[in-house]
């Protein structure tokens, strides 16, 4: 099963995309009412950024630093808070520009992202990550919709102005040979019988009995994919016969990876226990390590270089929007 946790999860909803640009936010507060300064962290064209939203972001990111084993000093905390405020202001400016241009995230795209997240984790891990970020599933989906709307705006306004030539793509490929040394990859399928982190001894015993019964069926010659479709409890891969596609080392949890990379094509391993539950793994193909041919990677290089150029153009684009906006901030540094 693929790794999934707070770092990956929060990258989808955090304001990191807007961090690091050194946005300068107006400190003008003339005319602001006392209630505004108490209830709101900022106002953008008359629309409030609630103090509760600002505090929630501060608490969430501070908690992430704590979970990562990092303790911020007073100066670092002050810088973090300023970046959070700047980022929330920039996000609101972008959100308003999207509304002005009639740009909105496709609901199907939001649902697709939600489905991808649910597929990449267990319900328990998903709930734990939401709790760590002080979000419900509904507020997370709303936040995600805004992020996708902003991305759509940026793609609409900036992408047409950014070009990458074939010469640039080839030069990047030739100048970075190590980036295109593909590691060994395997393709595997699995059958999962779930065991939750709080499962009792009785529940674990029942799950083990169930996976052992599945193992007996496979040893008698039943088709792995057919059995996976019937009994696997991994809803993300069950319909595909348990197929996980190709993956390299470092993409799966350690216990799963160790067992999978020890198998040969066509071989089914013994029962493996991970945080997800009990697995039976079958390796179906192996791709040896080697250099990725240019023709197979050139489109992705072009996308990468275009994204880099857009990243560089983004601060100027946001600064232009902010220069036309009325921005008031009420948070004391």
Q: What is the pLDDT of residues 126-179, one digit of tens each?
A: 888 888 777 899 999 998 999 999 999 999 999 999 999 999 999 999 999 999
In this prediction, residues 73-81 reach a mean pLDDT of 91
pLDDT band, residue 328 (cuts 50/70/90): very high
26 and 75 assigned to the same domain: yes
Cα Rg of the chain (Å, integer) = 24
Q: What's the domain range around 232?
A: 184-288
Q: What is the pLDDT of residue 333?
A: 61
18 and 87 assigned to the same domain: yes
Total Cβ atoms within 10 A of residue 5: 13
User: Is residue 118 pLDDT above 90, yes or no?
Assistant: no
Q: What is the pLDDT of residue 42?
A: 95
In this prediction, residues 112-130 reach a mean pLDDT of 87
Q: What is the pLDDT of residue 186?
A: 97
Q: What is the pLDDT of residue 16?
A: 33
Q: Token pair for residue 117?
A: 């997240």
In this prediction, residues 180-201 reach a mean pLDDT of 94
Range of lowest pLDDT (43-52, 96-105, 110-119, 222-231): 110-119
Range of lowest pLDDT (67-71, 119-123, 132-136, 248-252): 132-136
Domain assignment present for residue 273? The answer is yes
Domain assignment present for residue 85? The answer is yes
316 and 280 assigned to the same domain: no
State what percent of residues in the chain have pLDDT above 90. 73
What is the count of structural domains for the chain? 2
117 and 246 assigned to the same domain: no
In this prediction, residues 42-70 reach a mean pLDDT of 90
128 and 273 assigned to the same domain: no
Range of lowest pLDDT (24-38, 112-126, 255-269): 24-38
Q: Against a cut of 0.85, is the pTM above it?
A: no
Check which CATH number belongs to the domain holding 230 and give it: 3.10.50.40
Domain assignment present for residue 280? The answer is yes
122 and 20 assigned to the same domain: yes
User: Is residue 122 pLDDT above 90, yes or no?
Assistant: no
145 and 211 assigned to the same domain: no
310 and 278 assigned to the same domain: no
In this prediction, residues 235-248 reach a mean pLDDT of 95
Domain assignment present for residue 58? The answer is yes
Domain assignment present for residue 167? The answer is no
Q: Token pair for residue 250?
A: 């470092």
Domain assignment present for residue 195? The answer is yes
230 and 115 assigned to the same domain: no
Q: What is the pLDDT of residue 311?
A: 92
Quote the mean pLDDT of the chain: 87
Q: What is the pLDDT of residue 37?
A: 54
252 and 325 assigned to the same domain: no
pLDDT band, residue 317 (cuts 50/70/90): very high
47 and 140 assigned to the same domain: yes
Cα 212 from chain centroid (whole Å): 34
38 and 63 assigned to the same domain: yes
Q: Give per-residue pLDDT as tens, 16-41.
A: 333 333 333 333 333 344 455 579 99
Q: What is the pLDDT of residue 133?
A: 74
Distance CA 169, CA 164 (A): 7
């Amino acid at each position: 099963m693929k790794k999934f946790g707070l770092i990956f999860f929060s990258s989808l909803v955090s304001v990191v995309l807007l961090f690091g640009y050194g946005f300068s936010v107006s400190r003008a507060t003339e005319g602001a009412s006392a209630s505004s300064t108490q209830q709101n962290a900022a106002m953008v064209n008359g629309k409030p950024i609630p103090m509760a939203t600002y505090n929630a972001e501060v608490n969430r990111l501070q908690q992430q630093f704590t979970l990562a084993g990092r303790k911020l000093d007073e100066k670092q905390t002050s810088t973090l808070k300023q970046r959070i405020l700047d980022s929330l202001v920039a996000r609101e400016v972008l959100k308003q520009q999207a509304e002005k241009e009639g740009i909105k995230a496709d609901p199907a795209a939001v649902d697709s992202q939600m489905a991808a997240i649910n597929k990449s984790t267990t319900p328990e891990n998903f709930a734990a990550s939401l709790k760590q970020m002080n979000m419900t599933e509904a507020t997370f989906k709303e936040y995600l919709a805004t992020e996708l709307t902003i991305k759509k705006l940026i793609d609409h306004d900036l992408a047409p102005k950014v070009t990458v030539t074939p010469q640039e793509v080839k030069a990047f490929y030739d100048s970075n040979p190590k980036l295109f040394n593909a590691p060994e990859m395997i393709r595997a399928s699995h059958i999962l019988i779930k065991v939750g982190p709080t499962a009792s001894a009785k529940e674990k015993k029942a799950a083990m009995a169930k996976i052992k019964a599945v193992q007996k069926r496979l040893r008698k010659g039943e088709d792995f994919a057919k059995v996976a479709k019937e009994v696997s409890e991994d809803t993300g891969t069950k319909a595909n016969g348990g197929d996980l596609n190709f993956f390299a080392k470092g993409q799966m949890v350690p216990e799963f990876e160790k067992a999978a990379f020890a198998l040969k094509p066509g071989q089914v391993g013994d029962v493996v226990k991970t945080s997800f539950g009990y697995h039976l793994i079958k390796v179906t193909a192996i791709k040896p390590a080697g250099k990725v041919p240019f023709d197979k990677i050139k489109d992705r290089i072009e996308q990468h270089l275009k994204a880099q150029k857009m990243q560089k153009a983004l601060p100027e684009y946001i600064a232009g929007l902010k220069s036309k906006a009325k921005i008031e901030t009420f948070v004391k540094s």
